[in-house]
Chains A and B, each alone.
Chain A
Amino acid sequence: MKIWQRLAQYLLWFGLALVVAGLVVLVATGEGLAYGFLLPGLVVMGLSLGHLFQRQGWFTNFLGKRSTRMGTNGLVGAIAIVVIFCLTNFLAAQMVVRLDLTETQLYTLSSQTQGVLQNLSQPLTVRIFQGTDDANLEPFLDNYQRLNPRQFRYALVDPNQDIAAARRFNVQSQGEVHLEYGDRTQLVTVLAQGEPLNESLLTNSILRIQGDRQPHFYLLQGHGEPPLDQSPGGLGQMVQLLESQNYQVSPLNLIQNPVLPPDAEAIALIAPQTSLLPEEVNLLQQHLENQGSLLLFLDPQTDPALDNLLDDWGLSLDQHLILDGINRAEFLGLGQSSLLVTEYGAHPITAALTNRMSIYQDVRPLLFDASETIQGTPILSSDAETWAESNPEIPDPTFDPPGDRQGPIPFGWALEKQNPEATMETIRLVAIGNSTFVTNGWLGQYHNSDVFLNTVNWLAKVENAPLAIQPKAAQNRRLNLGRWQIMAIAWLAPIIFPLGGVGAAIFCLWQRR
């Protein structure tokens, strides 16, 4: 027996040595070899501890003092148990087997995401600035972390408590999701309360922040354009969205400084209220000749005096206003001048938008004369239920030919022409007869932001096109409760069962008496 006891004593130290060696290997290399030490070590420790505890006399020899013998025995035993508890869970956390039992595999990441995460060369941190916990968020982000635990980290930050972090990332509202990759930061999205984080969005953001190129997007100013802040009718959300997609956004005033910035890949003229100076138009034409891209959002009842430039592209502005004959935006409290668009032209900008609704208020038609040198696609059009009203000022306008024109009427064009000096490159221009859809409050409606972002990406010739990750959606399931089900629950749950419990308690008391 004594031999066994001595052996168990030595085995305990041997097991401990194996566990320590395993931990050192794990910390140093993180490789599977560590478990070759850890697992046998734990087993040996467990067996020897078990044997030693069974033999109560072991601690007598170990400690010598009889009075403290059993108390110490219990304490050492308890500590050993807690240590084994921690080690067991440490190992279990390293070798996770996870089954996603949701019907639509909500928590299983796509192969594209796995590829993106494997290619991270620097640490990437996702920060979610949100005061409240969300049960969905952590299992989702844990999946990301599991794919590359060395480089991917995430943190749920309460912006009211960690003010330094909130200031560093310029957090404006609850729910903002930010990426940090090396010295770069990027806003991914702003989550509404309880809104899940989308895999497609997060993975594409990770892909984008890894990209080297940061296109510069200039917003022409000086003609009464909407302000670039968060005020109603402003473009603050649009700027925020562009910056979140790794664009550099700057205002550009060609009146004060009539020089084109050398890095201007795309210039946007959004809702000018007054005419541009001829010199400005010349500079814009020059920008296009330099293979730059131009984005025009031109509202009805305005004249930007761009005729020369538009003529070159076969475009002309129409003074009509497109009205919806059956007022489909009425359920949103909007009038006939609001258009809901679900059908788009066949073009890279709108390829992924089929059956996805976007909404526009106060839309002007844009006319395009086809030519051989310019390839034009009507990306946005009203449908057959609309008409172009020639006199929108009158109350309750109706369709009156010949002044009015029956829909469908195109109001958004994507134009492309070959640069005569460089055979491979094309020059791109997008003109849309509406600007409200990108203003604060409207940009987040339906798929307005997708229409805008796809347009800007096409104009800026962003090469790393977003990965087509199918968004995971929950099974669409309803609980259709009949009257009997509701009545049964209403009686059983809060009344009958609790009363039954009370009744049983009273019966027990009565029986005891």
Chain B
Amino acid sequence: MLILNNIVAIFRRELQSYFFSPLAYIFAALLWLLGGIFFLTLLIGPQGIITFVATQEQMGGELPPVDVASEFLRAFFGVLGVLVLFLLPLLSMGLYAEERKQGTLELLATSPITNWAVAVGKLLGVLTFFSVLLLPMIIWELIIFTGAEPAFPLGLLLLPHLGLLLLVAAILSLGMFISSLTESSLVAAVLTFGLVLLLWLLDLLGDRLPGVLGAGLKHLSLLRHYNYFLAGILDSSSVVLLLSYSVLGVVLTAQSIEALRWTRR
């Protein structure tokens, strides 16, 4: 119970810091601007799905059944997945690096709160902040899905969101670990971006390697598992993989802070 209270305390402190931070709002504006442009372009732009299907229908001939709503959602979340890959290191870079810089990390490391409870609280805080940033996008989706004929099932609408949140949790968690290793936020952001890009592209690397090693690397790819969610498949191994990346990040962060405590002694 005490641990839970500690986690909640850290979570609240972290979340409050975002809502009073101008940088966090700049991040939000950037995400909404880029997301909004892609949303509009993929929907009604010259190459957008609605224009594409309308042109095909006007040309006549046989058009195979197209689920415009699903195709749009998949395209948008595909872009959003790439977008968060670039943007999330900006959010995770300061999680510990800023504490180090300001000298508050020692206080945290030597406080009675366990390191992993701090890490969990911080991760939950940043994840909650990011989830709040998704709300406008859900509003945009609801606006256009009122025009779906026949109606779009809720389950299919939720699945890409679930996939995105798991992906974001994994990236933020790993970013948090990297942030705990350095004093420089910039170094943390660059290293996180590099690591996540590598995890994103393991799929391609796995294709190049034969046998079990190739298959193993492919399985560890973030892209591959995120795509399952976008395709409408709920796969237990994908959920486990993305969750385990989050857990890995938290535990490694706790280990890294533990090591810090002892090296500073």
Contact = CB atoms under 8 A, between A and B. Distances in A.
Interface of A: 69-71, 73-74, 77-78, 81-82, 85-86, 88-90, 92-93, 95-103, 106-107, 135-136, 138-139, 155-156, 331-332, 357, 446, 473-482, 485-486, 488-490, 492-495, 497-502, 504-506, 508-509, 511-512
Contacts of A490: 40
Contacts of A508: 20-22, 25
Nearest to B31: A501
A474 B28 CA distance: 35
Given A479-B147, A481-B144, A89 B36 contact: no
A151 to B, nearest CB: 15
A480 B70 contact: no
Interface in B1-53: 20-23, 25-26, 28-30, 32-33, 35-37, 39-40, 43-44, 49-50, 53
Most chain A CB neighbours (cut-off 10 Å) among B28, B39, B237, B241: B237
Nearest to A501: B29
Interface of B: 20-23, 25-26, 28-30, 32-33, 35-37, 39-40, 43-44, 49-50, 53, 59-62, 64-70, 72, 74, 78, 136, 139-140, 143-150, 152-153, 155-156, 159, 207, 216, 219-220, 224, 227-228, 230-237, 240-241, 244-245, 247-248, 251-252, 255-256, 258-259, 262-263
Contacts of A476: 65-67
Contacts of B68: 477-479
A155 B25 contact: no
B235 A502 contact: no
A502 B147 CA distance: 31
Given A101-B155, A139-B233, A501-B29, 8 more contacts: A78-B252, A95-B236, A474-B65, A479-B50, A481-B50, A497-B136, A500-B29, A501-B26
A155 B255 CA distance: 39
Contacts of A135: 74, 78, 227, 230-231
Given A74-B258, A508-B25, A478 B53 contact: yes
Given A139-B231, A493-B140, A508-B21, A477 B244 contact: no
Contacts of A155: 207
Contacts of B143: 485, 488-489, 492
B32 A497 contact: yes
A473 B65 contact: yes
Contacts of A81: 248, 251-252, 255
Contacts of B140: 489, 492-493
Nearest to B54: A478
Contact of B146 (A485, A497, A499): A485
B232 A70 contact: no
A128 to B, nearest CB: 11
A498 B137 CA distance: 12
B240 A92 contact: yes
Report the 8 A-B pairs with minimum CB-CB distance, sorted nearest first. A501-B29, A493-B36, A70-B262, A505-B25, A476-B65, A494-B36, A498-B33, A74-B259
A24 to B, nearest CB: 14
Given A101-B233, A106-B232, A509-B22, A88 B240 contact: yes
B50 A505 contact: no
A96 B237 contact: yes
Contacts of B219: 89, 93
Contacts of B146: 485
Nearest to B152: A477
Contacts, number: 217
A340 B40 CA distance: 39
Nearest to A70: B262
B262 A477 contact: no
B237 A93 contact: yes
6 contacts: A73-B259, A92-B244, A101-B159, A475-B70, A478-B68, A481-B50
Contacts of A505: 22-23, 25-26, 29
B67 A485 contact: no
Contacts of B43: 479, 489
Nearest to A100: B233
Contacts of A71: 259, 262-263
A476 B71 CA distance: 11
B147 to A, nearest CB: 5
A101 B156 contact: yes
B26 A89 contact: no
B259 A70 contact: yes
Contacts of B241: 89, 92
Contacts of B139: 492
Given A481-B147, A501-B32, A502-B26, A97 B207 contact: no
A121 B251 CA distance: 46
Given A476-B67, A482-B147, A498 B235 contact: no
A505 B40 CA distance: 24
Contacts of A90: 216
A61 to B, nearest CB: 17
B65 A156 contact: no
B263 A70 contact: yes
Contact of A506 (B22, B60, B234, B245): B22
A139 B262 contact: no
Contacts of B65: 473-476
A102 B26 contact: no
A102 B153 CA distance: 9
A446 B60 CA distance: 12
Given A98-B233, A99-B234, A501-B26, A475 B67 contact: yes
Nearest to A97: B236
Given A92-B240, A475-B65, A136 B231 contact: yes
A477 B26 contact: no
Most chain B CB neighbours (cut-off 10 Å) among A74, A81, A138: A74
Nearest to A106: B232
A4 B141 CA distance: 56
A71 B261 CA distance: 10
A488 B62 CA distance: 33
A505 B30 CA distance: 12
B255 A74 contact: yes
